[in-house]
Amino acid sequence: MKTSIKYILAAVAALVILRSLKKPNFKQKAVKLAKKELERWNFGNIKEGNAALMPTLRDYYKTGTKTYKSDKFYIDTAWSGAFISYIMRMAGAGDKFKYANAHAVYIQDAKQNRKKNIKTFQAFRKNEMPVTVGDLICYPRQDGVTYYTPGLYYSHCDIVSEIKPGVAVGIGGNVSNSVKSKNYTLDSNNKVTSEEVHAIIKVLI
- The DSSP result for 95-123, as a single string, is GGS---SSHHHHHHHHHHHHHTT-SSEEE
In a domain, 3, yes or no: no
pLDDT digits (tens, 9 = 90+) for 142-191: 999 999 999 999 999 999 999 999 999 999 999 999 999 999 999 999 99
Counting as low any pLDDT under 50, the low residues of the chain are 1, 9, 11-21
In a domain, 151, yes or no: yes
Dist. CA 189–CA 91, nearest whole Å: 28
Domain that holds residue 168: 23-203
Q: Is the pTM of this model over 0.85?
A: yes
For 108, half-sphere exposure in the C-beta direction (CA atoms, 13 angstrom radius) is 14
Domain count, the chain: 1
Dist. CA 113–CA 141, nearest whole Å: 23
